[in-house]
A and B are shown apart, each in its own frame.
Chain A
Amino acid sequence: MPKFKGKSIVSLKDMEKKEILHLMKKAEEVKSGKLTQVLKGKVIASLFFEPSTRTRLSFESAVLGQGGSVFGFADPGASSAKKGETLSDTIKNVMGYCDAIVMRHFIEGAARRASEISSVPVVNGGDGANQHPTQTFLDLFTMLEKKGSLDGKVIGMMGDLKYGRTIHSLAMALTHFDVKLHFISPKELNIPDHYYDYLKAKKIEYVHSTLESCGKELDFLYCTRIQKERFYDPMEYEKVAGSYKIDKTSLEYLKPDTFIMHPLPRVDEIAVDVDDDPRAVYFEQAHNGVPVRAALLGLVTGTI
């Protein structure tokens, strides 16, 4: 059985397939109620050097719902970082008061650095444009929950595949499984070249598609938002953005059991009236962050 106790979770690269699957199993047990009070008596520090209400609430709900307690700060204005304290000193201080640290920071590599200083495990809740591993774990959890297994599944990734950290991270994680990927994006926002090399090396089949052409093949459609600022030419944005939005009409391109996922928050890339469709699972997906984060904290603090 994989050993998690004391382990920091900073990057997807820190987790082997068997560890990911073990986490998924434990998260399922937390969600079903088979495991309860997994953080009883544990104190978790929640250090948000960059505000992120959704991620913070999900982590805090995970801790409180499992009998743990949580303290920390929600935005950098309230933290000692504002007064010029280094990250190292903040961590050295806080690690004396808790069993694990959850942190989000706008600096890339901050969580890795913290994990090297800290005597308690550090869980990365996002470091700049770099990693946000618990998002990927809850994505995988949702996929496994919906389809039982990932092998043989076909996943469409749609929208901004160039800058989307969630997409990059999910694509890397999916290489542990026998999946096929469809990339659905304007050419300006294709996934960066080195991911193709990585996918090839891992023998993962991928194609560039349109939703119309591949929709009937998909088990999952993972949507992300295309931001206007990513285009040099605003006209270009107006021309293409519409093709990467989901509404009642585009639902017809999908199978009756193609699940629609999104890391949230969405703006207008999924029409509100799609929410009632049974295939729309993005809110459920977000809620899965709670058992996944609870299980992860239970594993690294050694209670599970």
Chain B
Amino acid sequence: MPDNKQYKVFKIEQGTVIDHIPSPRGLAVFRLLSKNNNSLISIGLNFDSKTVGKKDLIKFEGKIISKKETDKIALIAPEATINIIKDFKVIEKRHIDIPSDIHGIIRCLNPNCITNIEKIDTIFKVVEKKPVKVMCHYCERTAEVKPDMIDKE
């Protein structure tokens, strides 16, 4: 398996490997997940990939990413694959699924939207999957999801 070859480059004992992130979105994915994260992180950029051309790769030693974090990755790199590692083995291949509704996580880019005026959680409906386009439940504006719309909390 080509994946095994890459694990030899910087193998982790346990944690999370996010692979097949289309370049150059690796650093954006990293930024989304880096807050309050003290694990050892390795980032690889511009690997050759059969499926996505050039790909980026991130490994978190000791950190199992949450469902919410998986959803964030789905929004900017739906092509990525997520493997959870224990004792140097893949114990879970997490499927990236773009949810039909997104609660929280992204903020509305419309400055005149009620979600940017009063303290309420955002709700978006996914209207297109590639690239991910969402419609705000409140102001009904539609936008393509960009990394700077996603909360880093």
Query: What CA separation (Å) do A88 and B118 show in the bound complex?
Result: 9
User: Is B113 on the interface with A (CB-CB < 8 A)?
Assistant: yes
Interface contact A107-B142, CB-CB below 8 Å: no
Are B118 and A108 interface neighbours, CB within 8 A? no
Residues A109 and B142 in contact in the complex (CB < 8 Å), given A86-B118, A87-B118, A88-B118: no
Q: Is B152 an interface residue (CB 8 A)?
A: no
Asked whether any CB of chain A lies closer than 8 Å to the CB of B145, the reply is no
* Chain A residues with CB under 8 A of B140: 11, 13, 108-109, 130-131
Q: Roughly how many angstroms separate A252 CA and B30 CA in the complex, as a whole number?
A: 65
Chain A: number of interface residues, binned into ranges: 10 to 19
Assembly CA distance A131 to B113 (angstroms) = 13
Query: B139 — which chain A residues lie within 8 A by C-beta?
Result: 108-109, 127-128, 130
Of the candidates B112, B120, B141, B142, the one whose C-beta lies within 8 Å of that of A113 is B120
B110 at the A interface (CB under 8 A) = yes
Task: Give Cα A129–Cα B113 distance, bound, in whole angstroms.
Answer: 10
User: How far, in angstroms, from A13 to B113 measured CA to CA in the complex?
Assistant: 18
Interchain Cβ contacts within 8 Å, total number: 43
Given contacts A86-B118, A88-B118, A107-B117, contact A112 B137 (CB under 8 A): yes
Q: Decide if A44 is an interface residue (CB 8 Å cutoff).
A: no
Question: Which residue of chain B has the shortest Cβ distance to A87 in the bound complex?
Answer: B118
Decide if A194 is an interface residue (CB 8 Å cutoff): yes
- By a CB distance below 8 angstroms, the chain B residues around A13 are 140
- Complex: A87 Cα to B142 Cα, angstroms: 24
Residue in A106, A107, A131 with the greatest tally of chain B CB atoms within 10 Å: A107
Tell me if B138 counts as interface (CB < 8 A to partner A). yes
Nearest Cβ on chain B to A125's Cβ, whole angstroms? 16
Q: Is A110 an interface residue (CB 8 A)?
A: yes
Which B78-116 residues sit within 8 Å CB-CB of chain A?
110, 112-115
For residue B130, give the distance in angstroms from its CB to the closest CB of chain A.
15
- Among A93-145, those with CB < 8 Å from B are 106-110, 112-113, 127-131
Indicate if B17 sits at the interface (CB-CB under 8 A). no
B73 at interface (Cβ–Cβ under 8 A)? no
Chain B residues touching A, majority SS: loop
The residues of B that contact A131 with a CB separation of less than 8 Å are 140
How far apart are the CA atoms of A104 and B42 in the complex, in Å?
Answer: 52
Which of B112, B137, B141 lies in contact with A107, CB distance below 8 A? B112
**Closest A residue by C-beta to B122:** A109
Q: Collect the chain B residues with CB atoms within 8 Å of residue A87's CB.
A: 114, 118
Q: How far is the CA of A18 from the CA of B4 in the complex (A)?
A: 58
A194 touches which one: B113, B136, B138, B142 (CB < 8 A)? B142
A89: nearest residue on chain B (CB-CB)? B118
Instruction: List, in ascending order, chain A residues with CB within 8 A of B117's CB.
Output: 107
Tell me if A113 and B118 are in contact (CB < 8 A): yes
- Chain A contacts for B110, CB-based, 8 A: 108
Interchain CB contact under 8 A, B120 and A108: no
**In the bound complex, do residue B137 and residue A108 qualify as a contact, i.e. CB atoms below 8 Å apart?**
no
Are A108 and B112 in touch, CB under 8 angstroms? yes
In whole angstroms, what is the CA distance A131 to B112 when docked? 13
Q: List 7 tightest A-B contacts by C-beta distance, closest first.
A: A109-B138, A108-B139, A109-B114, A109-B139, A113-B114, A112-B138, A110-B114
Q: Can you give 24 contacting A-B residue pairs, CB < 8 Å?
A: A13-B140, A86-B118, A87-B114, A87-B118, A106-B112, A107-B112, A107-B113, A107-B117, A108-B110, A108-B112, A108-B113, A108-B114, A108-B140, A109-B137, A109-B138, A109-B139, A109-B140, A110-B114, A112-B114, A112-B138, A113-B118, A128-B112, A128-B139, A129-B112
Query: With contacts A108-B141, A110-B114 known, what are 8 further pairs, Cβ within 8 A?
Result: A107-B114, A108-B113, A108-B139, A108-B140, A109-B136, A109-B139, A112-B138, A113-B114
